[in-house]
Amino acid sequence: MPTRPKERGMDYEQMIATVRQRAGLGENEAVRSVQAVLSVLGERLAGQEADNLAAQLPERLNASVTRNPQGRRWDVGEFLKMVGDREQVANADQVRQHAQAVLRTVAEALNDDERHDLLAQLPGGIIDLFGVPTPRG
């Protein structure tokens, strides 16, 4: 099965800078936040979706996207708890703010088809963190 072509909409530095600005983080904290969110998000996705997501992100972030073909099923609360654990941030409001900054930036980096496919696998609470309209089946 062929993978989708790599159409990267944002380079690594631009992505980190956007997250830094949106979340009010320093360079190292922004990198850690991006890696934590992509790791948890990738683990949540089933099938080839994590590979498809990674293919559209800057290459330096490819390894941050966890691959789990079965996909894990958790709601937004569990998602944010796992992000906070991996990011090593205990404040729930900060974790939500960081996750929103990362996921909004990820949504902007994806083409329309990939964004639709990605959001179609997620529950509403996690979709809300992306700040984009809910996909229609």
Determine the distance from the C-alpha atom of residue 113 to the mean position of all C-alpha atoms in its chain, rounded to a whole number.
16
Q: How far is CA 82 from CA 4, 21, 45, in A?
A: 29, 23, 15
Homologous superfamily, domain 12-130: Uncharacterized conserved protein DUF2267 (1.10.490.110)
pTM (2 d.p.): 0.90
Q: What is the mean pLDDT of residues 118-129?
A: 94
Which residue did the predictor score with more confidence, 109 or 5? 109
- Both structure tokens of 72: 């894990």
Q: Are 121 and 108 in contact (CB under 8 A)?
A: no
Looking at residue 135, its pLDDT comes to 52
Residue 69's pLDDT band (boundaries 50, 70, 90)?
Answer: confident
With a cut of 80, say whether residue 7 has pLDDT above it.
no
With a cut of 60, say whether residue 137 has pLDDT above it.
no
Domain range list for the chain: 12-130
Measured over the CA atoms of residue 62, residue 7, residue 24 and residue 40, the dihedral's sign is negative
Burial (Cβ within 10 Å: 0-12, 13-18, ≥19) of residue 54 = buried
With a cut of 80, say whether residue 51 has pLDDT above it.
yes
Measured over the CA atoms of residue 62, residue 66, residue 71 and residue 75, the dihedral's sign is negative
Tokens 């992509």, located at residue: 38
Mean pLDDT, the chain, as a whole number?
A: 90
